[in-house]
Structures are given as structure tokens and as C-alpha cells.
Amino acid sequence: MEEHDIPIAFSDNAIHLARTAQLNTLTLSQMADQKANILIGATFVVFSLSVTRLLGSEITLATVCLALTAFVSSLFAVLSVLPSTGRIPRDDPNFNILFFGHFTGMDEEEWKRRLLNDFGDDEAVFRAMLRDIYQNGQVLYGKKYRYLAYAYRIFLTGLFITMVVYASEYAASLY
């Protein structure tokens, strides 16, 4: 028997570790979605109120700053939760048999057959779980958290700029 034919032995707790990591990634993804939804709601309210003031002939630089940064912030928040819908070829190295966006291009029998063939031992199951965890983490870090961070920073910066501009406009109106 060659060295690569020897099955890898796993700790009895390995499956629990993988499941915990998978659950943690899912929880972080849900939290990012909730934060994005909160920010989308807040920025739409701020944007709507700002536009209402602008349409009511109360045009000030502070209100324009607030409206623009709220709008741009909401765009980034929406981008953080916007789903990707592109198909990936089955022979692509990034194909993930566990991700619905990838396997929905297969018919059910082909999908079940591939799962049963590919998951014949513990190592194959762990590899699939680890691939799924890794890819979910890549999306979480590379898309959701990145866009969400931009959205929050833009919104906070907009609030700060608005306050500075408003204070300047107010001070100028006193003289």
C-alpha cells in the first residue's frame, strides 16, 4: 500500500470543530446581513428626509452633504447583501457541490450521484466541509464585510461632514 493510499485518521472531535466553524461563518453572515439591513433603513430615512428638505426650498450645503453620503452609503449596504447569481462550470476548480448556487445547474440524480461518489470516506466529507467554510469565509470577508465597512464609514463620515458644514453655515449666518 502506497503512502497516499493510507486513510488520514481524524480526531473524534474533528466533525464538531468543522460544524462549529461552519455555524460561526453562517452566524457572521447573518449578522452582516442584519447590519446591512439596519443601515439600509437608516440611510433611506435620512436620504428621504434630506430630499424632502431640499425640495422644500431649504437648500443648504449641509443637507446636500447628508443626502449624498446617505445615498452612497445605502448603495454600499445594498451591494453587501446583493446575491451573486452567475453559474459556475462543474469542472471549475472553485465548484462547490454543497453550495446551492453551484449545484442548481445539475439535475437531482446527478447531484445525489456525485455526492455519494465523492463522499465515500471521512476525509472527502471533511474536505468538502472545509472547502464550503473557506469559500463562505471568502465571500463574507471579501464582499459582505468589505462593502458593509465602506457603507458605515461613508455614513459616519457624512454625518461628521454634515455637522461641520452645518456649524459653519450657522456661524456664517450669525455675521
Of 98, 125, 96, the C-alpha closest to 14 is: 125
Residue 6: predicted pLDDT: 60
Query: Is it the case that residue 50 has pLDDT exceeding 90?
Result: yes
Can you say whether residue 57 is alpha, beta or left, with left for phi > 0 and alpha for psi between -120 and 50 degrees? left
User: What is the Cα Rg of the chain in Å?
Assistant: 24
Query: Is it the case that residue 27 has pLDDT exceeding 90?
Result: yes
Average pLDDT over residues 42-68: 93
Give the pLDDT confidence of 128-145 residue by residue, as tens digits: 899 999 999 999 999 999
pLDDT band at 153 (very low <50, low <70, confident <90, very high): very high
SS3 for 83-122 is CCCCCCCCCCCCCCCCCHHHHCCCCHHHHHHHHHHHCCCH
147 Cβ contact partners less than 8 Å away, ≥ 6 residues apart: 36, 76, 77, 79, 80
d(CA 147, CA 73): 9
Query: Is it the case that residue 149 has pLDDT exceeding 70?
Result: yes
Residue 105: predicted pLDDT: 83
Tell me how long the chain is: 175
Decide which of 104 and 57 is more confident: 104
d(CA 15, CA 28): 20
Give the pLDDT confidence of 64-109 residue by residue, as tens digits: 999 999 999 999 999 999 988 777 777 888 888 888 888 888 899 9
pLDDT band at 34 (very low <50, low <70, confident <90, very high): very high
Of 95, 130, 157, 117, the C-alpha closest to 19 is: 130
CA 56 to chain centre: 37
Phi/psi for 21 (5° steps) reads -60, -40
Average pLDDT over residues 108-119: 90
Q: With contact defined as beta carbons under 8 Å apart, do 158 and 73 qualify?
A: yes
In this prediction the pTM is 0.81
